[in-house]
Chain A
Amino acid sequence: MDYIKKELPTKINKIGWILTLAGLLIVIISYLVDVQRTSYNNLIALIFFSGIAIGALILVALEYLAGAVWSTPMRRVSEFLASSLPFMIILAIPLFLNIHNLFQWAQPELVKNDLALQHKSAYLNVPFIAIRFGVIFLIFYSFYVIFVRNSRKQDTTKDQRLTKINLKFSAAFMPLGAILLTLFAIDWMMSLVPHWYSTIFGFYFITSTLLAGLAATTYVAVTLNEKGYLHPSIGEDHYYSYGALLFAMTNFWAYIAFSQFMLIWYANIPEETTWFLLRWTGSWKYLSVGMVLVRFAIPYVGLLSYNSKMNPKNLKRIAIFILFAHLFDTYWLIMPSYSPGIIFSFYEIGFPVLIVGVIILVFYAQAKKYNLVPIGDPKLQRGLDFHL
């Protein structure tokens, strides 16, 4: 293994601080001006951020479980992205403080007059959602700690058994992760329209999460590698694999989203159509049409050809675009519960800036401490030699 560690330029750290502080400033001002609107943005932020961090964690587990080798040289990128997971807690605290502003089921006077909400109150109540959030976070974070600790230990020991242990944990992680993400999606997004229900919603969120983690990893890994921070053997074939996965997941997302829409539209049951009706009134209509373009058509065309998946410039562009689409999607899922039409102002900017800043800061700190390539991983050489 001929890896020589190169320090990331301190410029990145600076950018991280600037973005974090600027984002934080906007968020604080937003909260001072309009608590309710900012709470909704805070919720978007939680979902958007969790998508990236948990999605990156799923990628790590997926690599172990599937026995993939091509992604091993870039696994640290996913690990570093997942390391900002605890930021979820910070994003959730203001939400719990403002939970009555967000959810109808958290307003006792509304629940009193609504049979359906009373029925659901066994599940949708503040203590229980808090417990669920805690459990979800703790389980994801514990798995993160296990995976990463073993991976780092391997840098020095080169012990193959550690890979085997991580493989076992990743097998346990998958079913648990799927259940937890489903509960997370029901708690924080589906229950915004408390009478609405859709069984595919968990699938929808899991797909979005994986897509976000994948896009973030792709962008960072390709950028770092093009600048020479990873390894000279990583090249087009690895990029192609990321591109192909992004393409597949984009299609899968479209499939899930279409299935949900199509079935609800066709059956035309009032309890179910309300959710889509909300997104088809006023200016939301344009955003709903835009979803087809932003979340599906543009990434689809941008990744369709063989070359587009191999060209690092194009791949980076599309990866960033997919991250934007994830934000767009999250906004579309949440904001119609707050506003009768599209709204966009500084409230909507603060959180994304803050999140990007925090991710950069955490990434930089991690990259300073640890190797950017898992040098002790037994699959590393095979990953570097990977060819299509």
Chain B
Amino acid sequence: MTTIDFTHEIPVIEGKPAASSIDEMVSAPLNQKPGKVWKILFTITVTMLTVGSVALGLTFYYGIGLWGNNQPVGWGFDIVNFVFWVGIGHAGTLISAILFLLRQKWRTGIARFAEAMTIFAVMCAGLFPAIHTGRAWLDGYLFPYPNANHIWVNFISPLLWDVFAVSTYFTVSLIFWYIGLIPDLATLRDRATTKWKKISYSIFSLGWRHSARHWQHYEKAYVILAGFATPLVLSVHTIVSFDFAVSVIPGWHTTIFPPYFVAGAVFSGFAMVQNVLIFVRQAFKLQHIITLNTLEKMNQVMILTGSIVGYAYATEFFTAWYSGNQFEMFTFINRALGPYAWAYWTMISCNVIFPQLFWFKKIRRSILFMFIIGVFVNVGMWFERFVIIVTSLSRDYLPSSWHMYVPTVYDLAILMMSFGLFFTLTLLFVRTLPVVSIAEVKAHVDGAQPVHKGVH
């Protein structure tokens, strides 16, 4: 029945690689000319980015009337995409900060990559609120600063809190990521063979010399930043959920939104990280660092967060009935049976039903299945935001003002652009910086740490 030996820890890094081989392995892609596959992928993503940028430029020129937004559906793809991308970012911080505080060693191999994805995802996310204002060149007024026009921000609006939350989150994530990079940049500096590489890595490694004192400070800073990032990551999606939940719109105003949004964010973020890592570990031959065990654990986190999301759907539905409030009841019946039922059932099947397959160990450990389910989860989580935003707005209290929402080609192009941006940045990242943390991985190779009685 069992082959697992509970008396011993499963090593995080498989096969006891020598420290030098880890250096070689991780820095190899940085020293080679890009291959054919990379070039093809890069062309595709840059094309997506460019085509989408044209659509965005046209939006700037003609205004957001080009989009499908209407009265009463004032929020469409813009905010759906915003929430989706912020959510994607959450996995990185969960892995790098929360799992670090929980001393989960399996995070070691994937933390760097996940954090990078956080930063790129938050960039994509930041784009949408900036353009949904209609006149993006006036967005400076979103920040409260004294100005000649006496324009002041509305401090009681959660939309403003979003500005603060997302920008703080971005800053802290960036610093956290950078701090983690410093020892690796120093390693790369020491290995650099060309002049320009040497200079740039020297500048960014801030004179790191791998001395004991450096490490001591580094570890302290890392714990403190992890401590900061943990409440931050919760606060960001909580405030995103406040955008909806502080209103009095049925389907938006419900108290479970904060934890439910955070769980959903981690859920979709893990799916995205898992999807991308499957390719990265293959392409860079990192299977012994980003192990199958690690991917399995990611899938376990997905089933946990996915189940929390399912629990939230069920609670909302039940409470809508329990409340006896006819508007609440209508909203939820409308979601399941109304004109957007197809979106609702896409969401339910992708987020709640398919991830349940991860209860089976075989599926959790099958690369093909986990990839497919990961894609489903991303689709499902995108549709979740669509369902929440669009169904509630399109049929509000007053039936005479009901209106359907249909996205236009510009909406779709700008969505494509955000994916283009995200993957372009990811592709650039894998060519310029180490995709796994060299220093941290070395510390987790079997035998790297002192042992007690032969057991960790």
Q: A residues engaging B (CB < 8 A)?
A: 69, 115-116, 119-120, 123, 160-161, 163-164, 171, 174-175, 178-179, 182, 186, 195, 197-203, 244, 251, 255-256, 259-260, 262-264, 266-267, 269, 271, 377-379, 381-382, 385, 387-388
Contacts and interface: CB of A to CB of B under 8 A. Distances in A.
A267 B359 CA distance: 39
A178 B2 contact: no
A175 B234 contact: no
Interface string B283-310: 0000000000000000000000001000
B23 interface: no
A263 B242 contact: yes
B246 A256 contact: no
Contacts of A387: 452
Given A160-B6, A379-B7, A203 B256 contact: yes
A307 to B, nearest CB: 15
Contacts, number: 106
A263 B253 contact: yes
Interface string B70-107: 00000000000000000000000000000001010000
Given A178-B311, A199-B315, A163 B6 contact: yes
A296 to B, nearest CB: 13
Interface stretch (B125-133, B183-191, B322-330, B435-443): B322-330
B254 interface: yes
Contacts of B325: 271
16 contacts: A160-B4, A160-B5, A164-B2, A199-B256, A200-B255, A203-B259, A255-B234, A255-B238, A259-B238, A263-B246, A263-B253, A263-B254, A379-B6, A385-B453, A385-B455, A387-B452
Contacts of B43: none
Interface in B409-456: 452-453, 455-456
A164 B255 contact: no
Interface centre among A116, A178, A179, A263 (most CB of B within 10 A): A263
Contacts of A259: 238, 255, 257-259
**Nearest 7 Cβ contacts at the A-B interface:** A199-B256, A378-B6, A200-B255, A259-B258, A119-B324, A266-B246, A116-B324
B349 interface: no
A178 B245 CA distance: 23
B396 interface: no
Contacts of B6: 160, 163-164, 377-379
A200 B259 contact: yes
A382 B456 contact: yes
A178 B132 CA distance: 39
B316 interface: yes
B61 to A, nearest CB: 38
Given A259-B258, A260-B255, A269-B253, A381 B455 contact: yes
A388 to B, nearest CB: 8
A199 B4 contact: no
A195 B258 CA distance: 23
Contacts of B324: 115-116, 119-120, 195
B154 interface: no
A160 to B, nearest CB: 6
Given A116-B324, A263-B246, A199 B2 contact: no
Nearest to A119: B324
B248 interface: yes
A199 B332 CA distance: 14
A370 to B, nearest CB: 21
Contacts of B101: 244
A263 B245 CA distance: 7
B231 A199 contact: no
Nearest to B4: A164
A116 B324 CA distance: 6
A255 B258 contact: yes
Contacts of B408: none
A379 to B, nearest CB: 5
Contacts of A116: 324
Given A260-B255, A381-B453, A385-B453, 7 more contacts: A119-B324, A120-B322, A199-B254, A255-B259, A266-B246, A381-B455, A382-B455
Interface centre among A119, A178, A186, A387 (most CB of B within 10 A): A119
A267 B328 CA distance: 15
A256 B308 CA distance: 14
A273 B325 CA distance: 15
A200 B322 contact: no
Nearest to B8: A382
B241 to A, nearest CB: 8
A145 to B, nearest CB: 21
A200 B263 CA distance: 13
Contacts of A161: 1-2
A164 B246 contact: no
A324 B128 CA distance: 47
Contacts of A255: 234, 238, 258-259
B253 A267 contact: yes
B200 interface: no
Contact of B316 (A174, A199, A381): A199
B453 A175 contact: no
Nearest to B254: A199
A255 B258 CA distance: 9
